[in-house]
Structure formats: structure tokens, C-alpha cells
Amino acid sequence: MLTLHLRPAVPDDLPTLVRWRAEAAEWIARVHGCTQWSRPMSWARRLALIEAGATVLAMLEPGGEPVASYTVRDVGSRRLWTDEERARPAHYLSRLVVDRRHTGLGIGGRLADWTRHGAALAGVPVVRINVAPDNPRLQAYYAARGWHRVGTVPTARAGALFEAPALDTPVPGIRPDR
């Protein structure tokens, strides 16, 4: 089994994150014909998430080259989640991307599961994610992994809303940087 080593992202990681998103957007458009991540990313917003400690990188060896990234926050977007939903404790997973050179290894799914386990450790009952409504394969992927579709915001580019319960079971082979 592949071991993933996690560390918080730092500002110097921003160009890598921007490149990964652009590469993923190009691949998604070409292979799946959808617009997910087609809009340019806000560097300032992404930098703010890094500086807040919300963005994490995964490597295949300690201190190695990053192969994936994700962001977790405790507050959901008012544009996507109702006040009632936002009042219930949840973690919000976003910007999960795997370097195209490392796709197909199960890294993204393990990181999503790790997020769900982290929620359980924090006493948070649910993890939420929003994905592109025009990407049915991604929606099917999350549904197959135990995520339940809870709604759609038709006016949002990533308005297909999913949530999954926190996982009490640890995810093997993930080593957070301490």
C-alpha cells in the first residue's frame, strides 16, 4: 500500500497548486466535456487558505515532491449551503486535486477518507463537498464512496452538493507531519 505523508501547504506551494488545477481542468474538459475548474483560480484566495492552515499537501515520502492537495474548512459557503445546514457542525472538503502524473493510485479517495476520519476525531459528524453538476462521473465517484447527494444549487458552477458521515476507522498508510 502506498504511504502518504501530509504537511501543511506553504506560500511557495502556490504555483504548484495553480498548475495542478489548470492541468486537471484541461483533462476534465477533454475527457469528460465539462467545465469544472475552467475559470481561473484566485491566487489571493488560495494564498489566504494556505496562510490559514486549511490546505494540505500529500507526498509519497517525507519531505518529498507533493503529489496531491486538499483544503478543509469548518465553515461552508453561504451561496451553497443553507443557514440550517451551516449551523450543524461539518467539515467542508474542497480543492482536492492529484497531480496528473499520480492519478489512478487511489490517492484522492484516501485523502477524502482521511478528511472524514479527521472529522470524527474532531467530533464533527459530517463532511461536505460540492462538485460540478456537469461532471456525472465525479458525482458517481463520490456516491460509490459513500457520499450522499443532498441538493443542487443551479446557479453555482460547483453546485452539486454531497455529504458523508465522519469515519471512525483510521485510514491506513497516511502519516501527518507533526
Write down the pLDDT at residue 12.
Answer: 97
Write down the pLDDT at residue 94.
Answer: 94
Q: Which stretch of DSSP H or E encloses residue 143? A: helix 136-144
Give the least confident one: 19-28, 33-42, 99-108, 113-122. Answer: 33-42
Burial 119-140 (b: 16+ CB within 10 A, else e): bbeeebebbbbbbbbbbeebbe
Write down the pLDDT at residue 154.
Answer: 87
Write down the pLDDT at residue 178.
Answer: 60
Q: Contact at 8 Å (CB) between 131 and 96?
A: no
79-137: pLDDT as tens digits = 999 999 999 999 999 999 999 999 999 999 999 999 999 999 999 999 999 998 888 88
Phi-psi region of 33 (alpha: psi -120 to 50; beta: other; left: phi over 0): left
Q: Contact at 8 Å (CB) between 5 and 58?
A: yes
Q: For all residues of the chain together, what is the average pLDDT?
A: 92
Q: Is 14 helix (H, G, I), strand (E, B) or coil?
A: helix
Q: Give the pTM.
A: 0.93
Residue 163, exposed/middle/buried by CB under 10 A (0-12, 13-18, 19+)? buried
